[in-house]
Structure 1
Amino acid sequence: MEISFRGKKVLVTGAGQGIGRGIAEQLWRTGAKVVAVSRTRSHLETLQNEYPSIDIVELDVGDWDKTREVIESLGHFDALVNNAGIGLCQPFLECTPEAFDTTMNINLKSIINVSQVVAKKMIENKTQGAIVNVSSQASKAALMDHTIYSASKAGLDAVTRAMALELGPYGIRVNAVNPTVIMTAMGKIGWADPDKANTMLSKIPLGRFGEVSEVVDAVLYLLSDKASMINGVELPIDGGFLAT
């Protein structure tokens, strides 16, 4: 199945590294005009050095007003990937208001903000666009020390469904992907401890963690016209973790 985004302009947040970077790179390979957003300039510069035609935007999406101003200035998009996120893990009894506010601001509030700006322009331009939100298996299952993170991703799933309901009549599809542990550079470090890794792996029927490319492929499918009747889903990319 060949997927092409030739002639499409796509915004990817959190595109400096990991899953977001992989999405930006693959969209570029399939012909998209990619605009990559990250708060870390050095990550964006290495991306652009590799793919000079990718436009880069340094932006902290946690700043509501600045984000609206910048995203508005970027013009009209055919598709959006809300990948920017943060994970602050604390035991339930030690959760702090600072961690709660920071996590909700990035993982939930910023996605509503960016999506509002992009979706309004899609509607103005009569674009039957697509939006994919990067959620997590943690929205569906309890994980140790993930109280606030899980709450933010469960909220994101709910926002995804609401967006699908309200934007669907304009021909704009909104879906989420819910990955398990993914072997990004950070993932390899975070799950290097065999005891920690084996506890999680024992709950995944396929017996392994996911690769960035496996999330990228699912996101590109959901963005593409091949998924033209898929709207409001939360797609686990978890090797069966949620099936057990």
Structure 2
Amino acid sequence: MDFTGKTALVTGAGKGIGRTVATLLAQRGAHVVALSRSQADLDSLAAEIGSGSIVVDLSDAAATRRAAQDAMPADLLVNCAGINILEPFLEMKDESFDLVQAVNVRSAAIVSQVFARDLIARGRKGAIVNVSSISSFVGFGDHAAYCASKAGLDALGRVMARELGPHGIRVNSVNPGITLTDLARVAWEAPDKAGPMMSRTPVGRFAETADVAEVVLFLLSDAAAMVHGIAMPIDGGFRAS
């Protein structure tokens, strides 16, 4: 998977899976443009990999569109930005639901639209990977807004695949199980939550960010030229048990 000469735009690149994706892409030749809401995270990433940096609050639709336009041109896109607000369904706040959808779904739609329009205008092919979750398939307690957002992201990806494929733009999703990021630790650090999940995971461990990032890079690469419109679980067999 050699990405020499390619420019890759990665949202949510400051931490977690997005940061690992950005790092691996740079190690394999790509120039990375990183989007994050944290200047400090972007500065430290740039010091490590020489990435371009754009600070943006992805809950702001207009700011998201401007940031995506500033990041063009690019050949590859990874929509990795995501947030979670843990609330029982009966106590879920309207503003919590709206914020999670704005960051997890709407920002991906906006950035992908800008990216795809630019590729089509330049007559270039490309690839998009949306970082979703097994929460798209499984209803986890206290995750109503998050589960809804990831199901929405997968549905968005299917429509994008249908409409962008004829333009030579491949679109796929990856759906990690519990991956050891800061976001996941907040949701799953309690033994009463982690234990049942681990017991249902045949490989006997939770994913590291590199486990997910390697699959993302495969889907971006020419080796996946006929892989299009899928949502790929990366869950250590959780859904098989």
- Considering the TM-score relative to the shorter chain, is it more than 0.5? yes
Tell me what 1:24 maps to. 22
**Could you say if the C-alpha distance between residues 88 and 189 of structure 1 is closer, same or farther in structure 2, counting changes exceeding 3 Å?**
closer
Q: Distance in 1 between matches of 2:110 and 2:158?
A: 16
Tell me what 1:68 maps to. 65
The answer to whether 1:43 aligns with 2:59 is no
Q: CA deviation at 1:193?
A: 2.6
Q: Distance in 2 between matches of 1:73 and 1:192?
A: 38
Tell me what 1:225 maps to. 222
Letter in 2 for 1:50: E
Q: CA deviation at 1:92?
A: 1.1
The answer to whether 1:107 aligns with 2:104 is yes
Once the two structures are superposed, the pairs formed by residues 83-162 of structure 1 within 5 Å of their partners are 83-162=80-159
Q: CA deviation at 1:194?
A: 2.3
Instruction: Give the TM-score normalised by the residue count of structure 1.
Output: 0.96
Q: Structure 2: which 5+ runs fail to align? A: none
Q: Secondary structure at the match of 1:12?
A: strand
Q: Distance in 2 between matches of 1:187 and 1:233?
A: 24
Q: CA deviation at 1:45?
A: 1.1
Q: CA deviation at 1:195?
A: 2.4
Q: Distance in 1 between matches of 2:62 and 2:81?
A: 17
Q: Distance in 1 between matches of 2:27 and 2:236?
A: 26
Tell me what 2:52 maps to. 55
Q: Distance in 2 between matches of 1:18 and 1:75?
A: 24
Q: Secondary structure at the match of 2:173?
A: strand
Letter in 1 for 2:17: I
Q: Distance in 2 between matches of 1:208 and 1:75?
A: 38
Q: Distance in 2 between matches of 1:153 and 1:215?
A: 16
Instruction: Give the TM-score normalised by the residue count of structure 2.
Output: 0.97
Tell me what 2:167 maps to. 170
Q: CA deviation at 1:147?
A: 1.1
Q: Secondary structure at the match of 2:103?
A: helix
Q: Deviations over 1:169-216 (max 9, x none)?
A: 001000000001111244345433322211111121212110111000
Residue range with higher mean Cα deviation, 9-18 or 182-191:
182-191
Q: Structure 1: which 5+ runs fail to align? A: none
**Could you say if the C-alpha distance between residues 66 and 192 of structure 1 is closer, same or farther in structure 2, counting changes exceeding 3 Å?**
closer
Aligned pair partner of 2:9 in 2, 5, 11: 11
Q: Secondary structure at the match of 2:175?
A: strand
Q: Distance in 2 between matches of 1:38 and 1:188?
A: 20
Q: Deviations over 1:82-110 (max 9, x none)?
A: 00111111111111101111011111111
Letter in 2 for 1:155: G
| Total equivalences in the alignment | 241
Q: Distance in 2 between matches of 1:137 and 1:75?
A: 31
Letter in 1 for 2:69: E
Aligned pair partner of 1:199 in 196, 204, 211: 196
